[in-house]
Amino acid sequence: MGRSPSATRPDRRRTSEPEPTRRVGRAGAVRVALLVAVLVVLAGCSSGPGAPGKAPAAPAAPAAPAAPAAPTEPVPVEFETPAGFTSIDDYRIVVPLHPLRATRWVVPTGTHEYDVIAVTSYVLDGDVSTDPDDRLVARIAGYATEVSATGATPPTKTTVAGFPAWQQTIEQPHDPVPLVYDATFVFAGHFLVQVICQYDKRPDEVRAGCRTVLDTLRLVFV
C-alpha cells in the first residue's frame, strides 16, 4: 500500500526549516476511505457470536411436547336405573380386570342374591384408541383367561355410548355356584367400561334391565 496521509519525505533541509506537508490526491483519499470501510466491516463481523466473519449459529430446535399423562382415575359413567331395580353397594368384583376401577351396582327388587348388574369403569394400561379389532378381541380373550372362565362365547362387536364394544357370555367358577353373566366391554381411549349382567333365578328381568343400562350408558369426560 502507499503511504498514509501522515507520512513525510526524508530530511533534505536544515532542521530549522519546517517540513512541507505532502498533499494527497483524490485517488489516494478514495483508497484510504475504502481501507477504512473494510476495517469497519471486518470489525463489525468480529463483534457477533461465533468466529469472526461467520454467520451466527442456528437456534436449537424446540423440544418436543411431553406426552399427556395417563389418567389416574376411572372415567365416571351414568345410566338410567332400570324399572324394578334399585342401587346397592354390598357387592364386590371377584376378579378385577385392572387395579384402578369404580363400580356401580343395581339389583332387581326383592330376593336377588346372584342376580345383579354391575357397571365397572377401569383405567387401562395404555390408550387403545387406534388398536385394531383383533387386538381388542385378544384383550377380551385375556380377560376370560384371567377370570378362569370355564366357558366363553365368541365376542360379537357392537357399539355402546358411541364407542366400539364387544359382548359375550361368560361362565366363571365360584363357590358355592358358578357365576353366569353377559359381559359387554366398551373401549374408550385409556378406559374400559365393563357391563356385567349376571343372572341366576331371574334371568329375564336381569336381561331386560341390562338393555336399559346399555341403551342409556354415557361416559362423562370433563
Domain boundaries, the chain: 77-219
> According to the model, what pLDDT value does residue 70 have?
80
pTM: 0.70
Q: Please write the tens of the pLDDT for every residue from 134-159.
A: 999 999 999 999 999 999 999 999 99
Tens digit of each residue's pLDDT (9 = 90 or more) over 169-221: 999 999 888 999 999 999 999 999 999 999 999 999 999 999 999 999 999 98
> How far is CA 13 from its chain centroid?
92
Q: How confident is the model at residue 46 (pLDDT cuts 50, 70, 90)?
A: very low
pLDDT of residue 197: 98
pLDDT of residue 111: 83
In terms of CATH architecture, what is 77-219? Answer: 3-Layer(aba) Sandwich (3.40)
- Has residue 160 got a pLDDT over 80? yes
Distance of alpha carbon 213 from alpha carbon 104, whole angstroms: 11
67, exposed or middle or buried, with CB in 10 Å at 0-12, 13-18, 19+? exposed
Q: 222, 78 in Cβ contact below 8 A?
A: no
The pLDDT tens digits for 76-101 are: 999 999 999 999 998 999 999 999 99
**pLDDT tens per residue across span 35-44:** 333 333 434 4
Whether residue 51 is predicted with pLDDT greater than 50 in this model: the reply is no
Tens-digit pLDDT profile for residues 105-135: 999 999 888 999 999 999 999 999 999 999 9
Q: What is the per-residue pLDDT for 205?
A: 97
Element (H, E) at 123: strand 116-123
- Report CA-CA distances (Å) from 2 to 9, 10, 28, 174: 13, 16, 8, 109
Residue 19: pLDDT over 70:
no
* Per-residue pLDDT, 151: 93
CB contact set of 212 (below 8 Å; sequence gap of 6+):
79, 80, 82, 83
Assess whether pLDDT exceeds 70 at residue 24: no
Distance between CA atoms of residues 202 and 107, nearest Å: 10
- Are 186 and 165 spatial neighbours (Cβ–Cβ below 8 Å)? yes
Burial 99-124 (b: 16+ CB within 10 A, else e): ebbebbbbbbeeebebbbbbbbbbbb
Q: Residue range 64-79: average pLDDT?
A: 78
Whole-number Å distance between alpha carbons of 213 and 177:
26
pLDDT band, very low/low/confident/very high, at 71 (cuts 50, 70, 90): confident
- DSSP helix, strand, coil percent of the chain (3-state; round to 5): 20, 25, 50
pLDDT at 10: 39
Q: Which of 167, 60, 146 is nearest to 99 (CA)?
A: 146
78 DSSP β-pair partners = 218
